[in-house]
């Protein structure tokens, strides 16, 4: 199985809801780092799983949507606690819709909210 990955970082804000998490209930910023990993068993005629430039384009567009925003205020998070788990799923589902390649079998997201904590979501293509 082949894997290709691209990372980006960005700052966004959120506040947690639905529980008593102290300072996490107040609006605060995270310097997020997102890694998208694409998997597939075969390469295209150019020897790529997916062209990295294409991955970068879609990831940068998606990151720009969230950069410097408060996640709680975005429609993607309506009714959700803006946890990194939910955020990782939203990123994965959106990128799966945008990155099209017949040879892809899965897309996975790792999303760090700091140097020691990350969540992931993997989706079959």
Check whether 100 has a pLDDT greater than 90: no
Could you tell me the CA-to-CA distances from 108 to 4, 89, 95, 125 in Å, in that order?
Answer: 10, 9, 10, 10
- For the stretch 42-78, pLDDT in tens is 999 999 999 999 999 999 999 999 999 999 999 999 9
Residues 6+ apart with CB under 8 A from 63: 8, 10, 34
What was the pLDDT predicted at 89?
A: 98
Look up tokens 């082949």; give the residue.
2
Nearest-Å Rg of the Cα atoms of the chain is: 15
pTM of the entire predicted model: 0.96
Other beta carbons within 10 angstroms of residue 122's beta carbon come to 14
Rounded average pLDDT over 86-92 = 98
């Amino acid at each position: 199985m082949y894997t290709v990955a691209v990372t980006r970082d960005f700052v966004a804000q959120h506040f947690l809801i639905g529980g008593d998490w102290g300072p996490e209930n107040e609006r605060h910023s995270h310097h997020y780092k997102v890694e998208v990993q694409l998997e597939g068993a075969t390469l295209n005629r150019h020897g790529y799983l997916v062209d990295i430039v294409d991955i970068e384009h879609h990831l940068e567009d998606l990151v720009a949507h969230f950069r410097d925003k408060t996640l709680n205020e975005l429609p993607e998070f309506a009714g959700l606690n803006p946890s990194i788990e939910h955020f990782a799923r939203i990123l994965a589902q959106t990128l799966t819709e945008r990155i099209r390649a017949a040879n892809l079998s899965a897309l996975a997201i790792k999303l760090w909210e700091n140097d020691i904590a990350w969540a992931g979501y993997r989706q079959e293509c």
